[in-house]
Chain A
Amino acid sequence: MIYQTIVDTWKEFEANELTHSGAHHLLAIYEVGAAYGGWARVSDIARRLNITRGSVSINLRTLKKRGWVQTDEHRLVKLSPKGLKVVHAVMAKRVIVKTFLRDVLGIPESQAEIDSCKIEHLISHSTGQRLAHFLQFLTSGAPASRRLLQQFRAFQATCPASRTCDICKGHCLIDELKYAI
C-alpha cells in the first residue's frame, strides 16, 4: 500500500513537476545568462551541463511547452517570468536544505552541497517553508532552541542490542545505511 502510494507520487511527479534534468537546465540558463541580460546560448548551456547541444535543444522543447523558457530568432534562450520563479524557488530550497544539512545535522559543506542539489527540486514548497521555519527556530537564539541544538550535538546515538527501537520498529535502519553498498 505504501509502495503503491510512492509509485503514484512518482508518476504524478514525472507527469507534472520539474524533473532533475529540467531543474538543472533552468539553473544553467539562469547562471549562463546572468551576464547577458538573461539570454544564454545552447552551446554554453551544453558546456555547463556537460551534455550535447542536441540534448539541450530537445530538453528545451519540454521547458518551452511548460512556459518556463523562451527563445529568439537566434536560438538564444531565456527564462520566462514563470521560469524565473521556478528557478528562485529551487534555489531557495537548495539553500534551506543545505543550511539544514550543514548547520543542524553537521554534514560537511561539500556533501551538503551535493545532497541539497539532489533534493532541492523534489521537496514541495510547503515542506521547504516548514524547514525554513524550523531553521529560524533553531537559530533564533531562544533558550529552548539553543538548548535543543546543544543537546542534539552532544547526543551520542546508540542502538540497543536488540537492534530495534521506536524508529526502526524491528529493522535497524542505521545498520541498513551503515552496511549499504
Chain B
Amino acid sequence: MNSNMPSSKTTPGPSADRRDIVDDLNRLMAEEAEACLRYFQMRFRLRGKDYATAELFFENAIEETMEHANSIAQQIRALGHIPTLRVNLSLGDEPMRLETALGEALDVEQQALDAYKDFLPRVEGDPVLEPFIRRQIEVETEHVQEIRDFINAKGTMKLVTKPERTGQGGSRRRALKSLKRPL
C-alpha cells in the first residue's frame, strides 16, 4: 500500500461528529440493501443445476443482507435520524455461471467487510455502536471466508442450510457441505 495514502479514519472515535457517523451508517445500510437486491436478481441469471445448487444460498443471502440493512437502520433511528437510502442499481439480464455469481458475491461481501472495518475506529468507545460494528465484522468475516472456501474448493462443495445458530449479528444459516459437484 502507498505509504502516503491517508487512513480512512478521518475523525477519532467518540469525538466524531454525529452527522458524519449517521452518514457512514447510511452508506453501510446502502451496501447491505444493494447487496440484497443484487442477490435477489443474480439467482435468476443462473441456469439449470447452477440455479438449483445456489438457490438456497441466495435466499439466505437475501434474508441476511436485509436483516443487516434493517439493523443498521435501527441504529440510525436510535441516533435520532431517519435512514436515508441511496441506491443506484441497474443489473444485467444475461445468463450467469455460478462461478461468476460467487465471484461477484465475494466482491460484495469483501467490500461490506472492509466498510465495517474502516468504520470501526470511528465508533471505538461508543457503548452501542462499537459492539454492533464488531459483531457485523465477525459475521461478514465468516461470509467472506465461506464463499472463498467454496470458490477455492472449485465447486466440490454445495451451499446448503444448517440449523439456525443463536447469537448476534443476524441468523447464520448458510453453510458449506461437501458434495462432489463441479462448477
**Residues of A at under 8 Å CB distance from B?**
35-37, 39, 41-43, 50-58, 61, 72, 74-76
Tell whether B20 is near chain A: CB-to-CB under 8 Å.
no
From known contacts A52-B31, A55-B88, infer whether A39 and B115 are also in contact, taking CB-CB under 8 Å: no
B100 to chain A, nearest CB (A): 9
A76 close to B1 (CB less than 8 A) = yes
B2 close to A53 (CB less than 8 A) = no
B34 close to A52 (CB less than 8 A) = yes
A35 close to B4 (CB less than 8 A) = yes
B30 close to A61 (CB less than 8 A) = no
Closest to A51 in B: B88
A54 close to B34 (CB less than 8 A) = yes
Chain B residues whose CB sits within 8 angstroms of the CB of A50 once the complex forms: 86, 88
Closest to A39 in B: B2
Query: Could you tell me the distance between the alpha carbons of A41 and B38 in the complex, rounded to whole angstroms?
Result: 22
14 contacts between A and B (CB under 8 A): A36-B4, A36-B5, A37-B4, A43-B118, A52-B31, A52-B34, A53-B31, A54-B31, A54-B34, A55-B89, A56-B111, A58-B107, A58-B108, A61-B104
Tell whether B156 is near chain A: CB-to-CB under 8 Å.
no
B8 close to A57 (CB less than 8 A) = no
A74 close to B115 (CB less than 8 A) = no
A72 to chain B, nearest CB (A): 8
From known contacts A39-B2, A41-B5, infer whether A53 and B115 are also in contact, taking CB-CB under 8 Å: yes
**Residues of B at under 8 Å CB distance from A?**
1-2, 4-5, 8, 27, 30-31, 34-35, 38, 86-89, 103-104, 107-108, 110-112, 114-115, 118
Apart from A51-B88, A54-B111, A55-B88: 7 A-B pairs, beta carbons within 8 A: A37-B2, A41-B5, A52-B111, A53-B115, A57-B110, A72-B1, A74-B1
Chain A residues whose CB sits within 8 angstroms of the CB of B1 once the complex forms: 39, 72, 74, 76
Closest to A54 in B: B108
B171 to chain A, nearest CB (A): 21
B114 close to A54 (CB less than 8 A) = no
Chain A residues whose CB sits within 8 angstroms of the CB of B5 once the complex forms: 36, 39, 41, 76
B30 close to A52 (CB less than 8 A) = yes
Query: Could you tell me the distance between the alpha carbons of A35 and B108 in the complex, rounded to whole angstroms?
Result: 27
B24 to chain A, nearest CB (A): 11
Closest to B118 in A: A43
Query: Could you tell me the distance between the alpha carbons of A56 and B104 in the complex, rounded to whole angstroms?
Result: 11
**9 shortest A-B CB distances, which residue pairs?**
A53-B111, A57-B107, A54-B108, A36-B2, A74-B1, A57-B111, A54-B111, A52-B31, A52-B34
Chain A residues whose CB sits within 8 angstroms of the CB of B108 once the complex forms: 54, 57-58
B114 close to A53 (CB less than 8 A) = yes
A32 to chain B, nearest CB (A): 10
Query: Could you tell me the distance between the alpha carbons of A55 and B89 in the complex, rounded to whole angstroms?
Result: 8
Select A42's contact among B30, B35, B114, beta carbons within 8 Å: B114
From known contacts A54-B108, A55-B34, infer whether A61 and B103 are also in contact, taking CB-CB under 8 Å: yes
Query: Could you tell me the distance between the alpha carbons of A37 and B104 in the complex, rounded to whole angstroms?
Result: 28
Chain A residues whose CB sits within 8 angstroms of the CB of B103 once the complex forms: 61
Chain A residues whose CB sits within 8 angstroms of the CB of B115 once the complex forms: 43, 53
Chain A residues whose CB sits within 8 angstroms of the CB of B89 once the complex forms: 55
Chain B residues whose CB sits within 8 angstroms of the CB of A74 once the complex forms: 1
